[in-house]
Homo-oligomer: A and B are copies of this chain.
Amino acid sequence: MSIITLSHGSGGKATNKLIEELFYKYFNNDILLQKNDSSVLPNIDGRIAVSTDSFVINPIFFNGGDIGKLSVCGTVNDLAMSGATPLYITVGFIIQEGLKIKELEKVVKSIAATARKANVKIVAGDTKVVEKGNADKIYINTTGIGVIKDEKYLSSENIKPGDKVIVSGTLGDHGICIMSKRKNLDFDVSVKSDCGLLNKLIKKILSKSSNVRVLRDPTRGGLATTLNEFVNESPNSILLYEQALPVKEEVASMCEILGFEPLYIANEGKVVLIVAEEDSEKVLEIMKKDPMGKEAQIIGEVIEDNNAVVYLKTEIGGTRILNMPVGELLPRIC
C-alpha cells in the first residue's frame, strides 16, 4: 500500500507493519526496541531538562529542511538553551489519511539523520491517523530529555546592566523561506531556512564562559519577541543597535516586499544570548569559529531602565520601542 490509511492508526496489523518497517528500521536502537508501553532509560546522573514542541509547519518540505529535521532541531535546541546535553527524544505523529508513505519515509529518514547528528536516541513513539479534512499531511510532536551536569541555572532573571546581547547569525531566514515558498514568490535566489542544531555550539560556549546569563532560540515571534520575554522577566531594559543586526540581503528585500520586519520573523537555527560584558568578546570569538555561529554579532546591551522594554537605536540615530507582537504573524511557521 502506498498511502497512509486509517487502519495504520488502528493499533492492528497495519500499525505494526508501519512501526516495524519504518520506525524501527530508521530509529533503530536498543531502548526503542524494548517494544513496551513505555521505554526504560538508564539512570541519568544530574538534573534533567525536559522540553516539548509540536510541529505543524506548512509546507512540510522546504529549502534547507523538512518537518522531520525541524522537529528534532527544535527540541534539541530548546534543551541546549537550558544548558543541557540532549540525550533522548520521543516522537508522536498525527498523520492525515492519504499521505504518501514515500513522503512519510522521507520525514522519518530526516528525523533519524538529524537525531544521529545531534547524538540523541529516539526512545518512544506514537502514531495516530485522522480522516481527510482533519489535519494537513503530518503533525509531529517531539519531547526531549537532557542532562545538566553543573549547578548553574541559566535565567533571564540573572541579567544585569552592561551585559551584552549576542545573536549567532542572520535573522529571519526560516520565516522568509517558508513564506516565500507558500506564496510561490519566484526570486532569483531562494532563501534557505536556517533550520539546524545548536547543541554543539552551546556546549562550546558554556564550557568556556561561566558568565552567560541566559540563552534562547528566537523561533516564533523572532528576536524581538525573545528579547521582550527577557525584559519581562527582569527589572532592566535592552538597547539594540540596528546597524549591528545581521540580516541577509535577500531576506531584507523580501521583508520589504511583504511588509515584515526581520526582527519579528522566526529563526530555527539561531541563538540569542546575554553575557557579562567581560566575557562578550571571548564568547563572540568562540561563536564565529563554529559553523553555526559564523555570522555572530554583538547586537545590543542591557541597560538600567525599569520600563522593561526593548529599545532599537535606528541607523539614523533615533530610538523606538520594539513591542511584543500583537496578532497573527505567520501561521504554521513551525
Which residue of chain B is the closest to A222 with respect to CB atoms? B11
Q: Any chain B CB within 8 A of the CB of A166?
A: no
Residue count of chain A within 8 Å CB distance of chain B: 86
**With the chains together, A141 CA to B39 CA distance in Å?**
17
**With the chains together, A55 CA to B143 CA distance in Å?**
15
State the number of copies, please: 2
Given A52-B91, A124-B51, A81:B36 Cβ within 8 A: yes
Q: Is the CB of B126 within 8 A of A130?
A: no
Binary per-residue interface labels of chain A (41-54) against chain B in the complex, 1 for a CB within 8 Å, 0 otherwise: 11111111111111
Q: Is the CB of B43 within 8 A of A11?
A: no
Given A14-B327, A50-B88, A129-B331, A216:B37 Cβ within 8 A: yes
Given A90-B143, A143-B143, A38:B14 Cβ within 8 A: no
Q: Is the CB of B39 within 8 A of A325?
A: no
Q: Is the CB of A47 within 8 A of B37?
A: no
Q: Is the CB of B38 within 8 A of A130?
A: no
Binary per-residue interface labels of chain A (295-334) against chain B in the complex, 1 for a CB within 8 Å, 0 otherwise: 0000000000000000000000000000011111111100
How far is the CB of A184 from the nearest CB of chain B, in Å? 18
Q: Any chain B CB within 8 A of the CB of A123?
A: yes
Given A82-B37, A92-B141, A332-B130, A12:B233 Cβ within 8 A: no
Chain A residues within 8 Å of B, Cβ to Cβ:
5-7, 9-16, 34-56, 77-79, 81-82, 84, 88, 90-94, 123-126, 128-131, 133-136, 139, 141, 143-146, 148, 153-155, 216-217, 219-221, 225, 229, 233, 266, 324-332
